C-alpha cells in the first residue's frame, strides 16, 4: 500500500465515524428530531464521504497525493532534485585568471660552458569557482575534467587540482561567492604545450597536450545533489598565449546514465 493511503484511511474513517455517530444521536438522543434535524443531512454527507474515502484504496480509486513535508519546512528549501552546487567563471578576473613571469630552460641556447641558458616567460592559467548556492552544506565534493574534445587524454574523469593545494574531496558550505577554485589549464607563452592541471600528475598532464582548440567538460559532484557539468574552450591565440572561455550554461547530469 502506498505511503499516502494510511492518511486517507484515517480521514475516511474519521468522517464516517463522525457522520454515523451524529445520525445515531439525531434518532436516539434526548430530543430526537429524525430527518428534520439540521444536523441530519450534513451527517449523511460526512458518513458517505468517509465510507467512500476509506474504501477507495481497496477499490483502486484514485486519490490525490499528499505532501511529504509540511509547507512551512518546504517554503525556503530547494527541491531535492535541484543541484546545490555550481561552477563559476569570470573572464579576466582574479583568481579565475592569473599571469606571472617564470624562469625556464632555453634548450636552444647555450652559455660559454655548453649549458642551456635560462629565459623568462609569461605563465598563464585559468580556474573555475565552486559555489554552493543552496541552504545546506554539501560534503564529498569533487571537481574533475569529465571530457576533452579532441580526445587527447584517456582515463577520464581526471580530478583537478584545487587552488592552494587543498585536497579533494571538499566540504562546501552555502555562500554567495565561490568557496574554492579549481585549477584547469596552464601554459607558458614561450612553450608550445598546454597543461591540464590535474590533482595527481600523469604523463600526459606533465608532458602537456599539443596546442590547439579544446572543448573541456568540467564537472562538479557532491553528496545528495545532482552533478553539474559546464563546458569551456581552451585555445592558443596567434601570439602563442593561452585563452579560456565558457561556452554554455550549466548542464545537469542525468543520474540514471
Residue 55 and residue 49 in contact, taking contact as beta carbons nearer than 8 Å: no
Q: How far is C-alpha 66 from the geometric centre of its chain's CA atoms?
A: 27
CA–CA distance, 173 with 183 (Å, rounded to integer) = 20
pLDDT < 70 positions in the chain:
1-5, 8, 29-35, 58-80, 104-117, 203-206, 248-257
Work out whether strand 158-159 and strand 138-149 pair parallel, antiparallel, or are unpaired. antiparallel
- The pLDDT value recorded for residue 255 is 44
* Phi, psi (rounded to 5 degrees) for 120: -105, 150
- 12, three cell numbers: 475516511
What are 251's strand-pairing partners? 229
pLDDT tens string 153-165: 888 999 999 999 9
- 28, three cell numbers: 436516539
What lies within 8 Å, CB to CB, of 197 at 6+ separation is 125, 160, 161, 183, 184, 185, 186, 205
> Residue holding cell 543520474?
255
CA–CA distance, 115 with 129 (Å, rounded to integer) = 42
Using CB atoms within 10 Å of the CB of residue 58, give its burial: 0 to 12 exposed, 13 to 18 middle, 19+ buried.
exposed
**Verdict on whether the full-model pTM lies above 0.75:** no
- Of the candidates 228, 200, 229, which has an alpha carbon nearest to the alpha carbon of residue 215? 229
What are 110's strand-pairing partners? 116
- The pLDDT value recorded for residue 256 is 38
* Interior angle at CA 202, CA 201 and CA 204, nearest 5: 125
What are 127's strand-pairing partners? 183
- The pLDDT value recorded for residue 77 is 47
pLDDT tens string 65-115: 655 555 444 445 454 578 999 999 999 999 999 999 887 666 566 666 666
> Residues in the chain, how many?
257
Handedness of CA 150, 153, 154, 160 (dihedral sign): negative
- Average pLDDT score over the chain: 82
- The pLDDT value recorded for residue 53 is 76
Q: How far is C-alpha 65 from the geometric centre of its chain's CA atoms?
A: 27
> Residue holding cell 541552504?
135
> Residue holding cell 483502486?
60
Amino acid at each position: 500500500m502506498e505511503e499516502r493511503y494510511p492518511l486517507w484511511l484515517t480521514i475516511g474513517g474519521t468522517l464516517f465515524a463522525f457522520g454515523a455517530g451524529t445520525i445515531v444521536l439525531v434518532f436516539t438522543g434526548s430530543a430526537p428530531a429524525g430527518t428534520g434535524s439540521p444536523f441530519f443531512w450534513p451527517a449523511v454527507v460526512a458518513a458517505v464521504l468517509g465510507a467512500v474515502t476509506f474504501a477507495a484504496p481497496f477499490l483502486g480509486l484514485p486519490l490525490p497525493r499528499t505532501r511529504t513535508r509540511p509547507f512551512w519546512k518546504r517554503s525556503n528549501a530547494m527541491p531535492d532534485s535541484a543541484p546545490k552546487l555550481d561552477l563559476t567563471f569570470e573572464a579576466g578576473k582574479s583568481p579565475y585568471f592569473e599571469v606571472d613571469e617564470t624562469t625556464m630552460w632555453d634548450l636552444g641556447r647555450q652559455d660559454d660552458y655548453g649549458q642551456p641558458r635560462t629565459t623568462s616567460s609569461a605563465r598563464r592559467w585559468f580556474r573555475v569557482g565552486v559555489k554552493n548556492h543552496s541552504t545546506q552544506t554539501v560534503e564529498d565534493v569533487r571537481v574533475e575534467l569529465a571530457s576533452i574534445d579532441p580526445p587527447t587524454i584517456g582515463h577520464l574523469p581526471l580530478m583537478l587540482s584545487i587552488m592552494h593545494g587543498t585536497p579533494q574531496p571538499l566540504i562546501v558550505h552555502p555562500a554567495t561567492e565561490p568557496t574554492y577554485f579549481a585549477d584547469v589549464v596552464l601554459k607558458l607563452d614561450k612553450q608550445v604545450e598546454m597543461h591540464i592541471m590535474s590533482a595527481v600528475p600523469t604523463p600526459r598532464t606533465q608532458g602537456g597536450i599539443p596546442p590547439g582548440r579544446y572543448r573541456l567538460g568540467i564537472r562538479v559532484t557532491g553528496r545528495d545533489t545532482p552533478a553539474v557539468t559546464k563546458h569551456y574552450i581552451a585555445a592558443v591565440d596567434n601570439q602563442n598565449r593561452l585563452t579560456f572561455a565558457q561556452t554554455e550554461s550549466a548542464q545537469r547530469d542525468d543520474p540514471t546514465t
